[in-house]
């Protein structure tokens, strides 16, 4: 089973790019973040026609928005309000594959603004509170032995080689010590397995985001790994391979994020 996750930065604007990725990668399930459209304007028909008849999404005009589309039936659809906000950042559904079923959570953690100070910057405080709430919620409501996948734009690059320059980035939102500490606590609380890093050593540079502000993003390569796919220990034996579709950052009118892909062995 192939799972793809992508912060698409407007699903309607980049629908042609999405259709191209689906045609080439042929995922069984794909999840998007930052769809930026209310539900009534979501391009459902085109995606159903492409083979993804089963879906769950929530969105709002111009901001946020997450979706799950699957070739396999889904049930137990849930939409969550985090930190008291109805801002379309977390949904889940159970994917009912032929030989592999699991609960899938699509999460879009807030970016947090530019000032890494929760007192001076409400956006940063919201980000930290959001991660804390996820940690508590999963620990209380789910078990580490449950077959689960959590993925999305988690907006934190936790490892030294998840950013282009660790020393220069420790004071930049997405790689600050307090974010990494809370992110690590979330990760360890459920004994998650990092599905992408499972195949890529921690000492190897790995990115999924490059700023629009960099005119020559490829040569400069000042990236960050903000997009993640995690699985519980129950699914760890099913991990088969990963891919980060770096070439999509060079597409015409690209998202600043690129898709990340994880393959699971359906026989597990």
Range of the structural domain that residue 207 is part of? 2-264
Contacts of 167 (CB under 8 A, 6+ apart): none
CATH of the domain at 36: 3.60.10.10
Distance of CA 234 to the CA centre of its chain: 20
Q: One digit per residue, pLDDT tens: the chain, 268 residues?
A: 999 999 999 999 999 999 999 999 999 999 999 999 999 999 999 999 999 999 999 999 999 999 999 999 999 999 999 999 999 999 999 999 988 999 999 999 999 999 999 999 999 999 999 999 999 999 999 999 999 999 999 999 999 999 999 999 999 999 999 999 999 999 999 999 999 999 999 999 999 999 999 889 999 999 999 999 999 999 999 999 999 999 999 999 999 999 999 999 976 4
What total number of domains does the chain contain?
1
**Dist. CA 238–CA 259, nearest whole Å:** 21
Cα dist from 262 to 4, 41, 113, 194, 208, whole Å: 7, 29, 29, 10, 14
232 phi, psi to nearest 5 deg = -75, 165
211 phi, psi to nearest 5 deg = -60, 145
pTM equals: 0.97
């Amino acid at each position: 089973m192939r799972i793809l996750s992508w912060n698409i930065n407007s699903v309607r604007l980049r629908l042609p790019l999405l259709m191209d990725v689906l045609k080439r990668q042929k995922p069984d399930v794909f999840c998007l973040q930052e769809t930026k459209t209310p539900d009534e304007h979501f391009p459902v028909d085109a995606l159903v026609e492409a083979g993804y008849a089963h879906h769950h999404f929530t969105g709002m005009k111009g901001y946020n928005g997450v979706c799950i589309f699957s070739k396999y039936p889904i049930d137990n659809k849930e939409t969550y309000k985090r930190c008291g906000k109805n801002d379309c950042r977390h949904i889940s559904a159970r994917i009912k594959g032929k030989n592999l079923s699991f609960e899938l959570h699509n999460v879009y953690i807030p970016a947090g603004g530019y000032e890494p100070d929760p007192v001076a910057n409400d956006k940063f405080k919201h980000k930290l509170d959001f991660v804390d709430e996820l940690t508590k919620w999963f620990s209380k409501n789910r078990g580490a032995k449950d077959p689960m996948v959590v993925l999305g734009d988690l907006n934190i690059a936790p490892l030294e080689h998840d950013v282009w320059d660790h020393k220069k980035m420790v004071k930049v939102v997405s790689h600050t010590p307090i974010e990494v500490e809370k992110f690590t606590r979330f990760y360890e609380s459920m004994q998650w397995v990092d599905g992408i890093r499972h195949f890529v050593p921690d000492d190897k540079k790995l990115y999924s985001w490059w700023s629009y502000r960099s005119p020559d993003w490829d040569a400069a390569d000042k990236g960050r790994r903000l997009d993640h796919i995690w699985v519980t220990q129950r699914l760890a034996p099913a991990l088969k391979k990963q891919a980060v579709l770096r070439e999509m950052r060079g597409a015409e009118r690209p998202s600043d994020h690129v898709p990340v892909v994880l393959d699971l062995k359906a026989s597990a």
